[in-house]
Structure 1
Amino acid sequence: MAVMTAMLSPTAVAAADTASPAPRAAATVTVPAGVTAGVAVFDRQTGTFTEQLNTTMQFRSASVVKLLIALDYLWKRGPAYEIPAGDRAQFNSMLRSSDDDAASDFWVRNGGGAIVDRMSRELKLDNTTRPPDGQDGMWGYSATTAADTVKVYRYLLDTAPATVRELIMGQLRQSTRCSTTDLFDQHFGIAGAFDRPWAVKQGWSGFGDRDDGTCPSDTSARGTEAADVDVTHPALHTTGTVGSGDRSIVVAFTLHPTGTSYGKAYTDIGRLTRSLNVPGAVRPTGTWFGTWSSGVNVRPGATTGNDALTQLPAGVEVLVGCQKEGQTVSVPPYTNQWWAYLPQYGGYVSNIYISSPDNQLPGVPLCRSER
Structure 2
Amino acid sequence: MRNPSIPLLTALAVVAAVALAIGLAGLVTAPPPAPADARTTPAPATTPRDRPLAPEPLPGRFDPPPALSGRLGVAVLDRSEGRLVLAHRPDAEFTSASLVKLLIALEALERGEPGRRVVTMLARSDDPIASALWTEYGGTGIVTRWAQRLALTATRPAEDPGRWGDTVVTPDDVVRVYEYVLEEAPDRTREVILAGLRSATTYGADGFDQSFGIPDAAAAAGIPRAVKQGWSCCRFGRVLHTTGLLGADARFVVVVLTANPETESWTGAARRLTTLTARILRRTGV
C-alpha spacing 1:28/1:165, structure 2 compared with 1 (3 Å): farther
Q: Give the counterpart of 2:276 among 272, 278, 289.
A: 272
Secondary structure at 2:111's aligned position in 1? helix
Asked if structure 1 preserves the Cα contact closer than 8 Å seen for 2:118 and 2:196, the reply is no
Asked if structure 2 preserves the Cα contact closer than 8 Å seen for 1:15 and 1:154, the reply is no
Q: Give the counterpart of 2:212 among 155, 163, 188.
A: 188
Moved segments of 4+, more than 2 Å: 20-36, 277-281
How many residue pairs end up in the alignment?
A: 234
Give me the whole-angstrom Cα distance separating, in 1, the residues matched to 2:17 and 2:223: 21
RMSD: 2.5
Equivalent AA in structure 2 for residue 106 of structure 1: L
Asked if structure 1 preserves the Cα contact closer than 8 Å seen for 2:95 and 2:236, the reply is no
Give me the whole-angstrom Cα distance separating, in 1, the residues matched to 2:3 and 2:99: 21
Asked if residue 255 in structure 1 is aligned to residue 259 in structure 2, the reply is: yes
Equivalent AA in structure 1 for residue 275 of structure 2: R
Give me the whole-angstrom Cα distance separating, in 1, the residues matched to 2:10 and 2:124: 34
Q: What is the match of residue 238 of structure 1?
A: 242
Any unmatched runs of 5+ in structure 2? 24-70
Q: What is the match of residue 144 of structure 1?
A: 169
Give me the whole-angstrom Cα distance separating, in 2, the residues matched to 1:92 and 1:103: 11
Secondary structure at 2:128's aligned position in 1? helix
Any unmatched runs of 5+ in structure 1? 1-11, 78-82, 208-230, 282-371
Q: What is the match of residue 48 of structure 1?
A: 83
Q: Give the counterpart of 2:154 among 112, 120, 127.
A: 127
TM-score for both structures, normalised by structure 1: 0.59
Offset of residue 75 of structure 1: 2.2
Q: Where do 1:30-109 residues align within 5 Å?
A: 30=18, 32-35=20-23, 36-77=71-112, 83-84=113-114, 88-109=115-136
Secondary structure at 2:92's aligned position in 1? coil
User: Could you say which structure has the higher helix fraction?
Assistant: 2
C-alpha spacing 1:253/1:22, structure 2 compared with 1 (3 Å): farther
Asked if structure 2 preserves the Cα contact closer than 8 Å seen for 1:30 and 1:271, the reply is no
Offset of residue 170 of structure 1: 1.5
Q: Identity, % of aligned pairs?
A: 38
Q: Which moved more, 1:243-252 or 1:195-204?
A: 195-204
TM-score for both structures, normalised by structure 2: 0.76
Give me the whole-angstrom Cα distance separating, in 1, the residues matched to 2:279 and 2:12: 17
Higher relative contact order (CA 8 A, sep 6+): 2
Cα deviations across residues 182-239 of structure 1 (Å, max 9, x unaligned)? 11010111101113410000000116xxxxxxxxxxxxxxxxxxxxxxx431110000
Asked if structure 2 preserves the Cα contact closer than 8 Å seen for 1:24 and 1:53, the reply is no
Q: What is the match of residue 57 of structure 2?
A: none
